[in-house]
Amino acid sequence: MGQDFEKNKEEIKSNMGVTPQDIVIFEDLTAKENLEYFGSLYGLRGNRLIESVDETLEFIGLTNVKKKFPRTFSGGMKRRLNIGCAIVHQPRIIILDEPTVGIDAQSRNHILASIKELNARGATVIYTSHYMEEVEAICDDIIIIDQGEIIEQGEKEALISKYNNERKFDIMLAKNPDKKILSKINGISGVKNCKSEGSLLEITTSIEGNALKMIIELLEKEKFDFISIDMKKMNLENIFLLLTGRKLRD
């Protein structure tokens, strides 16, 4: 049941933790002092603050460097401390914005495992990322947003299953196809969508039928040479690219 924010502002704030994409820790405070400061902002005091800081240091794997300054840390260590500052007060809702950007593989794995653990402990985690393999690994419910609009959403397995009723082919040609060819391919029975990025044809078909065979026959008839044909498994990354396109974004 929803709450009136103005009437319950402090309670709502105390139950939320936010980790922004930009690291927001104090370089002139030690790791422990950073956690103490952010914990105090959420009302932690005395033994409760001490215990929460110690638990958080252990959880983010920084106990052995708790008296060191973040300016001596690697990017991954800073990211983990950044997360620690958001969870030191044990919030029920945690918002993480691109928490694994620019870090080493070990820290990345540690962060993803930690997120799973936070969720297992009962926290709701809202995870924002462009790394679809991470989303597929840790998320249960998914929303895909493109240019500020929700273009797909659903429970992970149901979402992937929905698009596994299709086949996706990448066909690299020796020359760029024209609009006439694209129109002919889109007219083939079983073809759901055909578009091109330069000489790369991106084609989505239904599972049933022999659409690929008919596409190949058409291209051969039209004197198009093939460089490669690749069938893509419809994992979350391919679904994302199918829905948003492959063109570079500013």
Q: What is the pTM (predicted TM-score) of this model?
A: 0.74
Residue 105: burial class (beta carbons within 10 Å; 0-12, 13-18, 19+)? exposed
CA distance 67 to 166: 54
CA distance 201 to 173: 8
β-pairing, 16-19 vs 93-97, is parallel
Residue type, 125: V
Domains of the chain from N-terminus onward: 9-139 (3.40.50.300), 160-244 (3.30.70.980)
Structure tokens at 167: 């086949």
Show the CA angle centred on residue 21, arms to residues 20 and 22, nearest 5°.
Answer: 90
What is the residue-level pLDDT of the chain in tens, covering all 250 positions?
Answer: 466 656 677 777 778 999 999 999 999 999 999 999 999 999 899 999 999 999 999 999 999 999 999 999 999 999 999 999 999 999 999 999 999 988 888 989 999 999 999 999 999 999 999 899 999 999 999 999 998 999 999 999 999 888 887 888 999 999 999 999 999 999 999 999 899 989 999 998 988 889 999 999 999 999 999 999 998 777 888 888 878 876 666 5
Residue type, 62: L
Share the mean pLDDT of the chain.
90
Q: What is the pLDDT of residues 147-160, one digit of tens each?
A: 899 999 999 999 98
